[in-house]
Structure 1
């Protein structure tokens, strides 16, 4: 089996879970939406469309920001071709505490979980500071099988 055949064999096995993306025509994507740009789940910052040339399709050029790393990504696709759009979900969770190894202990409508790491930087500092004085709720962004804490705020005392 060649390496190329092996690549397709791995993809063909798939999994029984719901898809992480869905297809949409490139010309239908808009600023503020999401798309997979060069294998990165991105929020679209800018879309420009070039007119069709003598021998081809109109091209759409997308500039976006990776939703997990904040890296800028640029990609081009023919406007009539399909692109993949990540299924992005935001959920609110209450924080119980931060574990010794730096994970958030969360509870909410979805039950309990301890598999989201405290983010580096400003959001992580905000969570730790708020937890000293008040209940904290966080926004968890989930896409492409990854989860990340995006924001924190003082929660309600229920």
Structure 2
């Protein structure tokens, strides 16, 4: 045991910005990811203004929040760094639905029951297909400590 008595204590980073890395603004591309106003977004529009009399070229970009679909805009000098979220997509077998929560089968054989079905049409389609006895695979997207079911498909035999 260490002298301060804290063998198993680790400093936690800022969870809101965990899973991000810096990238020069000028290196952003359409279809890539960027953090706008603290939210992970997929870039769909970009423009660069010319270098002005007093400064750097400016990059203006717009993206859709990858979890809510909401449009967000931002801009910064091309030489400045922006945060890029690490976005991960994982597929799981759907083995049950209970009170609007998906029961997913993990690779380890364990189950996970803490992800809500998506709201709206997709969630209704997943519920209906599951109720019809179809075997479904759901895609879970993870970024910046947030997770959501973003897609699904019928399992192939």
TM-score bracket relative to the smaller structure? 0.7 to 0.9
Return 5+ residue gaps in structure 2 as ranges.
1-10
Aligned 8 A contact 1:46 1:64 in 2: yes
The residue that corresponds to 1:115 in the other structure is 114
- Structure 1 residue 15 corresponds to structure 2 residue 13: yes
Q: Does 1:104 align with 2:112?
A: no
The alpha carbon displacement at 1:14 in A equals 3.9
Q: Counterpart in 2 of 1:144? A: 144
Q: State the distance in 1 between where 2:113 and 2:146 align.
A: 14
Provide, for residues 82-136 of structure 1, a one-character-per-residue CA deviation record: whole Å limited to 9, x for no partner. 1000010000010011113x21000132542111101111110111111122111
CA distance in 2: counterparts of 1:149 and 1:92, whole angstroms: 9
Distance in 2 (alpha carbons) for counterparts of 1:156 and 1:16:
41
Aligned-CA RMSD value: 1.9
Runs (4+) off by over 6 Å? none
Give the corresponding residue for 1:73: 72
**d(CA) in 2 for partners of 1:16 and 1:62?**
25
**Between structures 1 and 2, the one with greater helix share:** 1
Unmatched 5+ residue regions in structure 1? 1-12
CA distance in 1: counterparts of 2:14 and 2:52, whole angstroms: 42
Q: TM-score, normalised by structure 1?
A: 0.85
Matched position secondary structure for 1:131: helix
- The answer to whether the 8 A contact 1:137-1:154 is kept is yes
Q: 1:60 and 1:112 mapped to 2: Cα distance?
A: 44
CA contact (8 A) 1:94 1:136 kept: yes
Matching of residue 40 in structure 1 with residue 39 in structure 2: yes
Q: What is the aligned length?
A: 144
